[in-house]
A = this chain, B = another copy of it.
Amino acid sequence: MYVVILAGGAGTRFWPLSRKKHPKQLMSVFGGKSMLQRTVERVLPLHPKRILIITNTVQAKETAEQLEYLKHVPIDIIEEPVGRNTAPAIGLAAAIIARHDPDAIMAVLPADHYIVNEEEFRATILRAKGAALNGYLITLGITPDRPETGYGYIEAEMALRGDGPYPVTRFVEKPFFEKALEFLTAGNFFWNSGMFVWQVPVILNGIKAHMPELHGSLMKLDFSADVWELADLKPQIAAIYGEIKGESIDYGVMEKAKNVEVIPADFGWSDVGSWRALPEVIAPDGAGNVLIDAGEAVNIDSRGCLAYGGGKLVALVGVENLIIVNTGDALMVCAEERAQEVKKVVEELERKGLQEYL
Contact = CB atoms under 8 A, between A and B. Distances in A.
A326 interface: yes
Contacts of A58: none
A42 to B, nearest CB: 32
Interface string A69-102: 0000000000000000000000000000000000
B312 A333 contact: no
B319 A335 contact: yes
A186 interface: no
Given A315-B16, A344-B300, A345-B315, A331 B322 contact: no
The listed residue with most B CB atoms (<10 A of its CB), out of A319, A326, A354, is: A319
A317 B296 contact: no
A172 interface: no
Contacts of A345: 298, 300, 315, 317
Interface in A189-222: none
B298 A349 contact: yes
The listed residue with most B CB atoms (<10 A of its CB), out of A309, A334, A337, A349, is: A334
29 contacts: A16-B313, A16-B315, A298-B345, A298-B349, A300-B345, A300-B348, A307-B331, A309-B331, A312-B330, A312-B331, A313-B330, A313-B331, A315-B334, A317-B332, A317-B333, A317-B334, A317-B335, A317-B341, A317-B344, A318-B334, A318-B335, A319-B333, A319-B335, A322-B322, A322-B333, A326-B326, A326-B331, A331-B331, A333-B333
> Can you list the 4 inter-chain pairs with the closest CB atoms, starting with the nearest?
A318-B338, A317-B334, A318-B335, A315-B332
